[in-house]
Every structure is written in structure tokens, then in C-alpha cells.
Structure 1
């Protein structure tokens, strides 16, 4: 029964990892690709690690450390990549409604001048 539960978590994680890869191919611009890759791969990795914990209970502490590392580094790296893409003026998709970073930039530059 434990192997079935572990296999189910690993399969669910593989589905999320596949959807992350599909999102990288299908999204229209760099910013949405970064989001699709980060969110789905983080959840997929967590589910795979949980499934491995069921298969190998002795590895649980190490898997928790790996999970913590993934939870800390994925959001930070995606933020850094998207911020760098914005700073070098990577074009956004035509369907993008607002540029929140540009609004923040205008607000902060207005505060500096005052």
C-alpha cells in the first residue's frame, strides 16, 4: 500500500513537471514562461520528493532538506530572472495589460525628485 501511495505522488509530480515543460513551450513571452516553469516545477518537485519519502523512509531528512532548498531557491531565482529581463527591456506579450514594475519605477522616481 505504501508503494502505491508513493507511486501516486511521484506520478502526480511527473504530471506537474510535464506541465511546466509544456508551459515553457506554449507561453507567449519570457515573463509568463518564467512563471509557468517555476510554479509547476516547484510543486512537481515537492510531490516527487514526497513520493520518494514513502519509498525510502530512511531518506526523509535528506529529502526535507532538498525540498527546503527547492522552496527557497525557485522563487528567488525566478524573481531575479524576471527582474533582469525587465531591466534589459525584454518585450512583453501584446496581451499584457499592465506593467506593474513600470508603475513602481515611476512612483519611486517621483518620490526621489520631491
Structure 2
């Protein structure tokens, strides 16, 4: 009974992780500039990989294998943040400005609002 519950939780975590990985990939393809794309990749893909690794750790045959999955996630956390910082710093040094989009004025007074 417990193993069935763990299997369902594991499958749910892996599925949720894949959804986050797909969302990060869509962000990479759709966002307008390098900074927004980095944000999508570092946030969504890191969370997605974490869910996949935790889901696989629940299915692991032993504690050593489960710890290996979690070690993969921890190493990815470090590599992702370092890589994103380097790419963003290089883009900034090259003079690439963030895409600001359409700026809408902020109306604080209700009588000035359209």
C-alpha cells in the first residue's frame, strides 16, 4: 500500500517537473531578450529538474541512488546560477539592454484614471 502511494507521488512529481521544463523551454523561445530568457531557464528548469530528481529518488532502489539524484539537482542549482550570472554579465558588458516593453503610466488618483 505504501509503495503504491510512493509510486503515485513519484509519478506526479516527475510529471510536474516535465511541465516546468516545458514551460522553461517555451520561455526560452518566446521571451524578448536574453535577460528574460535566462530568468525562464534558471527558475523553471531548476524547479522542473528538482521535481524530476525528487520523483526519481522516491523510486530509487536504495538510499545511495536517491542521494545521487539529489546531488545532481544540487549541482545543477549551482551550475545554473553561475552560468546565468556569467551570460547576463557578458550580455551587459556587450551593451545589450533589457527589453522594457510598453511602459504604462501608474495612476494613483482615481480621478486621473481613464
* TM-score under structure 1 length normalisation: 0.79
CA displacement at 1:90 relative to structure 2: 1.9
Q: RMSD across aligned C-alpha pairs, in angstroms? A: 1.6
Is residue 40 from structure 1 mapped to residue 29 from structure 2 by the alignment?
Answer: no
Q: Does 1:7 align with 2:11?
A: yes
Count matched residues.
97
Q: Which residue of 2 aligns with 1:23?
A: 27
Shift of 1:91: 3.6
The unaligned stretches of length 5 or more in structure 2 are 104-114
Q: Distance in 2 between matches of 1:13 and 1:33?
A: 19
Correspondence list, 1:43-58, <5 A = 43-58=47-62
Task: Name the one with the larger helix percent.
Answer: 1
Larger Rg: 2
Q: Which runs of no fewer than 5 residues in structure 1 stay unpaired?
A: 98-114
